Structure 1
Amino acid sequence: MKISKKFSATAALAGLALVLSGCVQTKNGKPYGFVYDYLAVPGQHVMDWLASIFSGSYGWAIIILTVIVRMVLLPIMVKQMRNATIQQEKISMIRPQMAALQKQQKAAKTQEEQAAAGQAMMALYRNNGISMTGGIGCLPLLIQMPIFAALYAAIRYSPELSKAVFMNIPLGKASWILALLSFLSYLLQSYLSMLGLPQEQKKQMRYTLLLSPVMILFFTMNSPAGLGLYFFVGGLFACLQTLIINFYRPRIRREIKEKMKDQPAPVMPTPVKPAAKPEQAAAETHTHNRNRNRNAGKQQHHH
């Protein structure tokens, strides 16, 4: 749960790009294959159509496509943000029980005791309706995957897109300017996402939220500038989306707290004591029998 979902999504997109770079085959300099035929060619047609609306500008075509994708994702992201906020409030409710189990886990002397404390922690989450994923789903990533794949393949293999220029930046070649702008836009989004959060939670998220901008920086520095433009505009839209989410967050928290007043108190599971080893069990049985015989002898002597 400490791993940022944004980092996971960025890593998945970067991994997809690496896969796509080796999936398109060429013959006599011409690309072919499933990825090219079903992703690059349709992506090129969409870009051509959008560019025709903006006087042949493929840069504006990428910007409009990014905004459309983000607008489609906005209701889904807001819903997932609400689910994540609910999970955060529930975690705050069981924080004392979590601290107690973490203390038991640190004090454990054997692997069995550590495993028992870990199972008790999972039971605490399960008994109080808390998801181990924090309420964040993969649907936004799944929606972006085909768009990203089509854009990547189209920019790399379509002559029109690879030779297009936007604001004096060739879209078919890597651009450190767009790479830096993409990094800064997602760095700003990470900062905005921490506003209004408890100080303890900010400390936990600080480093993981830096991973996504750094991943985007290294990825866009080695990718066509068209993808850098896609990430830059997407980062700006993510900042706007985060501001909207932050505006509604206090109201959502109030609603959650009102609903949680009627909820039962958090259930605190007790770690199951690990089974004793055969030697230890035999020793305990021998001691128990010896004590029982001694007590029986004392009773007979008393009579």
Structure 2
Amino acid sequence: MGKKSVFTFKYKYGFIGLILILLLTGCATNEPIDPESANFFEHYFILPFSIIIKYVAALLSDNFGLSIIVITLLIRLAIMPFMLKQMRTSRDMQKKMKALKPELDAINEKYKGKTDMDSKMEKQQEMQKLYQKHQLNPLSSMGCLPMLIQFPILIGFYYAIRRTPEIATHSFLWFNLGHTDLILTGLAVLIYFAQSRVSLIGMDEKQKKQMALFSFISPIMIGIVSLNAPAALPLYWAVGGLFLIFQTIISRKLITR
């Protein structure tokens, strides 16, 4: 029970966070960022990224496509140590919870069918004593810190792409960064679907079944938003999704050593 609730919550939390980001950004303004009227978040997160995008593009002969790719990779690399630490913590917690399973099952069996408040309180106390005995804190595996760190950064960069008008005046590869591109949208959807499937590797069959629906949600949401957005945004998602696949594969090799 403990293992299921902790890791299911963490996995769902990540997808729900992504969905909230997509919904919020889908309703965001496309007005160019204005340093004079910028609020706190705009001034300290969106505006700096807009300046960085234009600066890096200038270094790359006004190639805004490459600028978005470079900055996306740098952001993901900066966040990667936090994500790897969280993954290692989760893996260690999973091993400990597996070792505790017989004792947890015994407690669950002891209070099976008892729904009165006193029994629930006693069960909770016994489980807390068991965790204390083994110096275990299930909440520590939920990995909120890396998510709290990355959300404002990624949202800020997302808004900066939308609200930097210079981007829309340039092309990259076969598409115009300011126009919707169906091919790039399809690639972003496929990449995020592949990433969601890779993230299921190593889970037991029960967890895979529980998370199966969530592996479709983020690609669908990204596809819906990208169909009504300039190509610069699915470019950003495609690069980020490829990096997440790479990060997941590398992390599993490092953590399982």
Shorter-normalised TM range: 0.7 to 0.9
1:163 aligns with 2:169: yes
**3-state DSSP class of the match of 1:172?**
coil
Specify whether residues 233 and 250 from structure 1 end up closer, same or farther in structure 2 by C-alpha distance, changes over 3 A only: same
- In structure 2, relative to structure 1, the CA distance for the partners of 1:181 and 1:120 (3 Å cut) is farther
- Contact in 2 for aligned 1:40/1:158 (Cα 8 Å): no
Q: Does 1:78 align with 2:58?
A: no
Q: Distance in 2 between matches of 1:129 and 1:23?
A: 50
Instruction: Normalising by structure 2, report the TM-score.
Output: 0.77
What are the residue-to-residue correspondences of 1:1-303 with 2, within 5 Å?
1=6, 2-3=8-9, 4=11, 5-14=13-22, 17=25, 21=28, 32-34=37-39, 35-104=41-110, 106-133=112-139, 135-251=141-257
| RMSD, matched Cα | 3.4
The secondary structure found in structure 1 opposite 2:138 is coil
Q: Which stretches of structure 1, 4 residues or more, deviate above 6 A after TM superposition?
A: 23-27
Give percent identity, aligned residues only: 31
Please report how far the alpha carbon of residue 219 of structure 1 lies from its aligned counterpart in structure 2 after TM superposition: 4.1
Deviation string 1:210-246 (CA, Å, 9 cap, x unpaired) is 4444444444444443222212111101111111122
**Aligned residue number for residue 260 of structure 1:** none
Deviations 1:225-281 (A, max 9, x none): 322221211110111111112222332xxxxxxxxxxxxxxxxxxxxxxxxxxxxxx
Against the structure 1 CA distance between its residues 224 and 145, is the aligned structure 2 distance closer, same or farther, given a 3 Å change threshold? farther
| Cα displacement (A) at 1:155 | 2.8
Quote the Cα distance in structure 1 between the aligned partners of 2:213 and 2:133: 30
Q: Distance in 2 between matches of 1:158 and 1:31?
A: 15
Secondary structure at the aligned position of 2:139 is classed as coil
For residue 133 of structure 1, report the CA deviation from its aligned partner.
Answer: 3.4
Q: Which has the higher contact order (CA 8 A, sep 6+)?
A: 2
Which has the higher mean CA deviation after the structures are superposed, 75-84 or 57-66? 75-84
Stretch moving more, 84-93 or 133-142: 133-142
Relative to structure 1, the CA distance from residue 165 to residue 123 in structure 2 (aligned partners, 3 Å threshold; closer, same or farther) is farther
Cα distance in 1 for partners of 2:227, 2:112 equals 43
Q: Are the counterparts in 2 of residues 10 and 216 from structure 1 also a CA contact under 8 Å?
A: no
Q: Using a 3 Å threshold, how does the CA distance of structure 1 residues 173 and 133 change in structure 2: closer, same or farther?
A: farther
Give the SS at the match of 2:89: helix
**Displacement of 1:204:** 4.2
Question: Could you say which residue in structure 1 is the equivalent of 2:3?
Answer: none
The residue matched to 1:55 in structure 2 has which SS?
coil
Question: 1: distance between equivalents of 2:175 and 2:105?
Answer: 53
Q: Is the 8 A contact 1:172 1:226 kept in 2?
A: yes
> CA shift at 1:112, angstroms?
4.2
Distance in 2, matches of 1:174 and 1:125, equals: 52
Give the total of aligned pairs. Answer: 248
CA 1:96/1:218 → structure 2, altered by over 3 Å: closer, same or farther? farther
Residues 58 and 164 in structure 1, CA contact (< 8 A), matched pair in contact too: yes
Q: CA deviation at 1:136?
A: 4.0
Larger Rg: 1
Residue 108 of structure 1 aligns to a residue whose secondary structure is coil
Extract unaligned runs of 5+ from structure 2: 1-5
Q: Deviations over 1:150-205 (max 9, x none)?
A: 33333333221233332333333444443432332232223223334444443444
